[in-house]
Amino acid sequence: MSKSTMFRSVSYRPCSCTGVMCVASDFGGIAGTEVVAKFITETAADELRGEVVRTIKRAKLPKSNINKGESAALQTLKKDNSIIILPADKGRATVIMNTADYREND
């Protein structure tokens, strides 16, 4: 890879495909597939959809960022009907409230 290629913008990504899949990903991934499919032949659109399906099926789940004990604790909290777990109104926090208090404020 040449130095000029290495210093391109962040949106640049090398690709070995025919170009249609890259165009589809530029339009928003899976939803972009249908946008692009409107402008290509039906055969090419079917091939594109097939490639998207194969790509999704080959994808691997990311490694969990919590251990088994933490996962078990989360499952226990989810099953507890006396509390409710919600995203906070602001920030990326999580709020745990008594269900009765939540319904009273709702």
Which DSSP string corresponds to 3-68?
HHHHTS-TT-----S-SHHHHHHHTTTHHHHHHHHTTS-HHHHHHHHHHHHHHHHH--PPPPSS-H
24 vs 57: CA distance, rounded Å: 18
Mean pLDDT by 10 residues, the chain (106 residues): 36 46 54 81 89 88 90 90 89 88 82
Other CB atoms within 10 A of residue 35 CB: 13
The pTM assigned to this predicted structure is: 0.42
**Where does residue 24 fall: left (phi above 0), alpha (psi -120 to 50 degrees), or beta otherwise?**
alpha
